[in-house]
Chain A
Amino acid sequence: MKFPAFAYARPATVEEAVTLLASDDEARPLAGGQTLLPILALRMSMPSCLVDLNDLEELKSITVGDGVVRVGAMVTHAQNLASAEHRTHLPLLSAAVRHVAHEAIRTRGTIGGSLAHADAAAEMPLVVTALEATMVIVNQQGERRVAASDFFGGHFTTAIEAGELLTAIEFPISDHRWAFEEVARRPGDFALVMAAAGLKLNNGACESARITLGSVADRPLRATEAETFLVGKSVTAGVAAEAAQIATQDLKSHGDIHASAEYRRTVAGTMVKRALTRAAMEQSA
């Protein structure tokens, strides 16, 4: 369908954008529009005004310093995919963003829009959870920071309040080796199941592990019990399989037209096992 009518503003600064949002409860930020515009076309939402963020150059850069990679909210998926900084410092982000939609969608879709939308089947929420990133949120009063673990409140729900903008995501540079696994029906489709594994090994033994599952619950899940299980062990195929079992045994996933709950739980185990095995190989390479 055609979009419903809306007023339109294209602010030149974040301050102006926040003022516009604060002055109208029904106004919405427009980032890449690759989710918001389909929602309008399907008439699932009818905002009074779209505040277009595309002129906010200050939100479009990737900077590295002090052990942190700061990614502006308006950095596109295509920019993240092409980023040499990410391949060096955030290989998990580089690996996962390849799975986000298709090239034509990645041209405009942004990391900020993806996180603000918080689709449980989207890759970026999983990545910020796995890498323990911090979201930088701005409102008329100033800036506040929210840890990824506190950011997602369930399906399509985040810590961003009305009148606020997500301006950047800060990723601490991790010394773990990462691997990402996903099953989707076609390349570019949303994940049916995905997992990220990070390992820090010391003389072959696991010093620290991070396992994150996506598209199996209303938000990304850390498998903390499996992470603890791995510490001190050598990550052989058998140990990876055991960790995968622990990570998924209590999983109460959801079934939908694409996959049953049982399928999701089984495949989640396989994703964790593969991701751990690959992360362990990365380490020795």
Chain B
Amino acid sequence: MKRVAEDELIQVRTTVNGRSYTFSTEARVNLADALRYELGLLGTKVGCEHGVCGACTILVDGKSARACLMLGVQAEGRDISTIEGWATGKELNPLQESFRRHHALQCGFCTSGFLATATELLRENPTPTREEVRERISGNLCRCTGYETIVDAICDPEVAAFARGEQSA
């Protein structure tokens, strides 16, 4: 791509939660804001806007990434997965359901980021130890729960069964 001036719009084609989207944006707009304001997907939250809090964490080509530290234009050709794609209608997936059961959220601002981080971990290892979970979620901040219930939710046996199923699928 040739140099595009700062006030020029760039057309982006991307896939989010299995659906194709085309939108136009300035280069300066980060991916979290592009998802929220160009595509109307408000489940991805923006906290610190500089990579530290983890609230904006999403999956890009199956790997966790900070949506605030990618440009919207870098979504071109990518396969993005956000919290809007994880429940089936009103039915939460087993990880989300486990968060609810274990009271792993209060205000919920951090939750979509934690779910993205945990989803990636569980795909690699359906039965992580508490220590492994604590290390993996160290990049996500939660001001409400004190983390223990989040670790409980991720280590729940029903979540492990779901994650094993996903792995073999």
Instruction: List the interface of chain A (C-beta within 8 A of B).
Output: 1-11, 20, 33-34, 37-38, 41-42, 49-50, 52, 54, 78, 101-105, 107-108, 186-188
Instruction: Please classify how large the interface on chain B is, using the bins under 10, 10 to 19, 20 to 34, 35 or more.
Output: 35 or more
A6 to B60: give the CA distance in the assembly, Å. 24
A3 to B33: give the CA distance in the assembly, Å. 11
A61 to B136: give the CA distance in the assembly, Å. 26
A52 to B66: give the CA distance in the assembly, Å. 17
Q: Is the beta-carbon distance between A78 and B63 smaller than 8 angstroms?
A: yes
> Would you give the shortest CB distance from B137 to chain A, in whole angstroms?
9
A/B pair count, beta carbons within 8 Å: 101
Given the contacts A7-B3, A20-B3, A34-B69, A107 and B30 also touching, CB distance less than 8 Å: no
CB contacts (< 8 Å) of B69 on chain A: these are 33-34, 37-38, 105, 108
Q: Is the beta-carbon distance between A42 and B50 smaller than 8 angstroms?
A: yes
Given the contacts A37-B51, A104-B54, A186-B138, A5 and B65 also touching, CB distance less than 8 Å: no
Chain B residue with Cβ nearest A1: B49
Question: A187 contacts which of B68, B74, B135 (Cβ < 8 Å)?
Answer: B135
CB contacts (< 8 Å) of A6 on chain B: these are 6, 27-28
A103 to B62: give the CA distance in the assembly, Å. 12
CB contacts (< 8 Å) of B3 on chain A: these are 7-9, 20, 49
Chain B residue with Cβ nearest A16: B2
Q: In this assembly, does B117 line the interface, its C-beta being within 8 Å of a C-beta of chain A?
A: yes
Q: Is the beta-carbon distance between B51 and A107 smaller than 8 angstroms?
A: no
Do most interface residues of chain A lie in helix, strand or loop, or is the interface mixed? loop
Question: B28 contacts which of A2, A34, A103 (Cβ < 8 Å)?
Answer: A2
Q: Is the beta-carbon distance between A41 and B50 smaller than 8 angstroms?
A: yes
> Would you give the shortest CB distance from B81 to chain A, in whole angstroms?
13
Q: Is the beta-carbon distance between A52 and B74 smaller than 8 angstroms?
A: yes
A4 to B30: give the CA distance in the assembly, Å. 11
CB-contacts of B41-70 with A (<8 A): 49-52, 54, 57, 60, 63-66, 68-70
Q: In this assembly, does B156 line the interface, its C-beta being within 8 Å of a C-beta of chain A?
A: no
> Would you give the shortest CB distance from B77 to chain A, in whole angstroms?
10
A52 to B33: give the CA distance in the assembly, Å. 19
Chain B residue with Cβ nearest A27: B3
Given the contacts A8-B4, A33-B69, A103 and B117 also touching, CB distance less than 8 Å: yes
CB contacts (< 8 Å) of B28 on chain A: these are 2-6
A52 to B120: give the CA distance in the assembly, Å. 26
A11 to B2: give the CA distance in the assembly, Å. 7
